[in-house]
Amino acid sequence: MSDPKRKTGRLSLLGLVKEVFNWYPSSYPAEERKLLFKLDLSILIFACLCFFVKFLDQTNISNAYASGLKEDFGLYGNELNYFNICYFVSYVLFQIPGLLLISRPKFRVTNVHQLYAIRFLVSMLEAPIFAGTHFILGSWYTGPELFKRAGTWFICNPLGNMFSGYLQAAAYTNLSGVGGMPGWRWLFIIDGIFTIPVALIGFFIFPGIPGSPKPFFMTDRDIVLAKERTDRAKIRQPGKMSLDVFKRTLKRWHIWVFVTCYACMIISTYPTSYMNLWLKAEGYSVTQINQLPTVTYAVTIVASWLGSTLAAIYPEWIIFTIACACCTFSSLCMIIWNIPTALKFVAWYAFGAFGCLSPILYSAVNLIVRDDAEERALILGAMMSLGYSFNVWVPLLAYPTAGPDGAPRWRKGWPISFVSFFLLWASFVASVFLWRREQMSEASVSPHESSDEETDTVVVDEALALKD
């Protein structure tokens, strides 16, 4: 899927380190390196900030729940699951069409029903962010560039989770009682303050796609060069939308395999972010409950950046396999459950290896379906909608908050997570195999294709990527 020149040679350790940090290859013309730098300053910076505040907002409910919200509102059933269901129902409904609705809920809630409504509205406004950003990354970047940028962008997922934990700990310690409010309420207020400037930055610097109106910081030559790059990589930009996109998409294997991949990813990783519930059950302090899980997010940051970068250098399926193996091991530990506390911590932290799975998967979609922008958009939206639809009902059955099979023991949930990690790996490997077969078929039909054109095209025959 990536540049053959990066895949075929064996690199020394020093060469590998250089390649990891080689974002602007010297083989690129100067104007192309300058364009990539502009894209990184606009797309990547805003996307990272946006993703950071998204997950800051998304995870604050869990941190607040473990830091006093549960006791203040008398939440001793499955209310935490219901909060998440309110979020994911809206997330699913507004994923594909995107959301333009602007709503301004009350600043302070006084009961659980208002909190349900706010969770629903927050997810409505966040719905297009994830898949939409991947689509835009795939519209500007090609080959190894895409994997590196996708992994760097995804870092802001665990950063948001991590920062939320530290922020909640600080709010609980320093702001409890200020203004007559408990510390967990201040977390929501501070998150809102972070979000406003990010929205303003995006309004001015986010460039959309190459066919969008030219942003102020780009020249006409930049746009021409960007389109030349995508033409070389055979990335087709969006055209006229028609119902035919549904027909041709459903006839191809892409949507079925990739939606299965993402559904398995959503199910398998659902419990991995609830280490705080285990710590709470074990009697750790509120500060420890908010800070100890941040180690998992630190592992996720390293895995997201390094794993995605290595996937731009080595075969993607190998990196994907290693990450899935780590998560499968952790799930097995949780199924056994009665293990030493130190091993339990290792298992929770090893879940962080999943950080590279999502950026590798979405980058693969962008590259494999590069020749049909409408199909690519539909698949990315369907992956999110159908994948997250499982979060509407699976947690109630497999990951209940309360009860004999409730958090964090999840006697039903952890085996489901174990199986889902295996199916995730199998589905991704299947996509690589199917793509390899397609590429071989195309090569046999067009055996006299110009070798110069193959060199210029950064998206390559998967057979080359699999030969190692």
Distance CA 346, CA 335 (A): 14
Count Cβ atoms within 10 A of the Cβ of residue 102 and give its class: 0-12 exposed, 13-18 middle, 19 or more buried.
exposed
Exposure letters 303-312 (e unless 16+ CB within 10 A, then b): bbbebbbbbb
Least confident of 136-145, 237-246, 335-344: 237-246
- Say yes or no to pLDDT of 193 above 80: no
Report the run of H or E that residue 137 belongs to, with start and end.
Answer: helix 129-140
* Rounded Cα gap, residues 162 and 72, in angstroms: 24
Intervals of CATH 1.20.1250.20 along the chain: 26-235, 246-440
Percent residues over pLDDT 70 in the chain: 74
Fold of 246-440: Growth Hormone; Chain: A; (1.20.1250)
401 or 325, greater pLDDT: 325
Using the CB atoms, write b or e for 329-360: b if 16+ within 10 Å: bbbbbbeeeeeeeeebbebbbbbbbbbbbbbb
pLDDT single digits (tens) 296-340: 888 988 998 898 889 888 889 999 999 999 999 999 999 999 999
Instruction: Kindly state the DSSP code that residue 42 receives in the 8-state scheme.
Output: I
Strands (DSSP E) along 22-150, which ranges?
Answer: none
% of the chain with per-residue pLDDT over 90:
18
Strand ranges (DSSP E) for 88-178?
none
Residue-wise pLDDT for 6-31, tens only, equals 444 577 888 888 888 888 888 888 89
Residue with tokens 């191809």: 252
Burial 239-257 (b: 16+ CB within 10 A, else e): eeeeeebeeebeeeebbeb
Average pLDDT, the chain: 77
Domain 26-235 homologous superfamily, CATH: MFS general substrate transporter like domains (1.20.1250.20)
The pLDDT value recorded for residue 345 is: 95
